[in-house]
Homo-oligomer: A and B are copies of this chain.
Amino acid sequence: MTAVPSPADGQLPLRVALVEDQRATRESWSRLISSFSDFTCVCACATAEEALLLVPQSKPNVILMDIFLPRMSGIECTARLKAVLPKVPIVMLTASDEDETVFQALQAGANGYLLKRTEPAALRAALLDVLNGGAPMTSEVARRVIDSFHTKKPNREKPINLTAREEETLVLLTKGYSNKEIAEHQNLSIETVRSHLKNVYEKLHVRSRTEAVVNYLSKQKE
């Protein structure tokens, strides 16, 4: 959609920052990136701490970040860099296939996710993709991300029929209101609110407002 940002859209090579703890990998990736005519690796850091210091100064157009770093993880580092450079896309790199880290990284602000065994051509494509606002991912990773959308829904039960008032009351509950506040908010007697709430509790099989709120909010998230 939008054109590649930053370097005046001219012929200046796109600036890549790399964070990777293993020296051999770091150096070979750095060389690989600079070998592309339209890219240059302007920063190659070995640790998260170093990255926080040097990456912002190197004014990169895109950042490649290893997930596993000593001490501070690449995820934490991603979150912190995003705070300083919110516009610069960050692509995570990982050798392995842990499920958890994918989401943590994405939640930390990562824009893409690549396995380290990516081919040079695919790496270049991914860099261009993310610079154009895309979200490069390998098939496997995309699959896992998508899977997180279908996650466990053995929810074949009845959808629980709350009446209009009961629903309203429940929603106000989830705003943190007390019964009195809900009553005022709806121009009802406190007793009526309590009455609706009793019905809600029964229908949701809970015994307290907190349980009801947790129950309701967790269903919203799905």
Contacts and interface: CB of A to CB of B under 8 A. Distances in A.
A178 B215 CA distance: 15
Classify chain A's interface size.
35 or more
Interface in A167-210: 173-178, 206, 208-210
Interface in A124-175: 129, 132-137, 139-140, 142-143, 145-146, 149-150, 173-175
Contact of A137 (B142, B177, B206, B214): B142
A117 interface: no
| Copy total for this chain | 2
Contacts of A210: 173, 176-177, 209-210, 213
A121 interface: no
Given A210-B176, A217-B217, A140 B145 contact: no
A149 B107 contact: yes
Given A176-B206, A176-B210, A217-B214, A106 B142 contact: no
A222 interface: yes
Contact of A174 (B134, B176, B177, B214): B214
A217 B214 CA distance: 8
B149 A103 contact: yes
Contacts of A208: 176, 178
A176 B211 contact: yes
Given A214-B176, A214-B217, A221-B221, A106 B143 contact: no
A111 interface: yes
A134 B129 contact: no
A109 interface: yes
Contacts of A107: 149-150, 222
